[in-house]
Amino acid sequence: TMRKKLLQYNKNIQIEILSNAVFLKSSNVHEFNNNENDMTIGFLSNISFEKGIKEYFEVLKKLIKDGYSVNGLIAGSNTNIKSKKYLDSNLEELKEICYLGKIVAKEKEDFLNKIDLLLLPTKYKNEAEPLVIHEAMSHGIVVIAWNRGCISNMISQNTGLVIEKDKQYVNSAVNQIIFWIENPKKLIIAKELSLKQFIHKKSENLAVLNKIISNIANYQ
């Protein structure tokens, strides 16, 4: 871990671990009801194969092929030529999926309020603590992610799904989504727990932040 590496330089230094969650606000929504509309599945990241855009489309394609009514909402910068061609081709094929481009501030808030769950099939080798997971959970959105970096510590068993790196992402994600579609009350519970977990995480780290500020203020 980074803590152990830092301690190699000075055994007496004081190290605190602070989560990005502390800098986010939680959603005002605290109750989740059965959604009579089709499930909306989101992807919020740079559009690249490394971040999992291919797996995202494969999940949606399989669900639609199997007869499930789902919609897709994609947002993020798209500067890679190969991934742009892939995105354009699949958007042409799947009218159920909409691409919003790069979004910020109010646009991101609107995006998060529209989706039921977020897919994060990241293969990025330097993935640490993806902010997008905290952003999703702060809105009571369940997340299905490939395990990278700290992701397994961010999503508990009842608030989403963490798929191990050596496991097949698409089939695992599809099976979990089908379970939630067929058991909507279970999805509501997962959403509620997702928001509660974020609030708890933020509270924990607010205490850490206050400790850091106090230590800096009293440093001599």
SS3 (DSSP) at 218 = coil
Residue 20 within a domain: no
Domain count, the chain: 1
Give the C-alpha separation, 155 to 175, whole Å: 18
Residue 133 within a domain: yes
Examine the pLDDT at 198 and tell me if it is beyond 80: yes
Residue 42 within a domain: yes
Residue 162 sits in a domain of what CATH number?
3.40.50.2000
Residue 206 within a domain: no
27-36 pLDDT tens trace: 776 567 666 6
Residue 214 within a domain: no
Domain holding 167, by residue range, is: 37-200
Query: What pLDDT shows up at residue 11?
Result: 63
Residue 25 within a domain: no
Residue 21 within a domain: no
Examine the pLDDT at 213 and tell me if it is beyond 70: yes
What is the percent of the chain with per-residue pLDDT over 90, rounded to a whole number?
A: 80
Cβ-Cβ contacts under 8 Å for 106 (sequence gap 6 or more): none
Based on its alpha-carbon atoms, the radius of gyration of the chain, rounded to whole angstroms, reads 19
Give the C-alpha separation, 192 to 158, whole Å: 10
1: confidence class by pLDDT, cuts 50, 70, 90:
low
Residue 64 within a domain: yes
Query: What pLDDT shows up at residue 13?
Result: 75
In this predicted model, which residue has the larger pLDDT, 37 or 150? 150
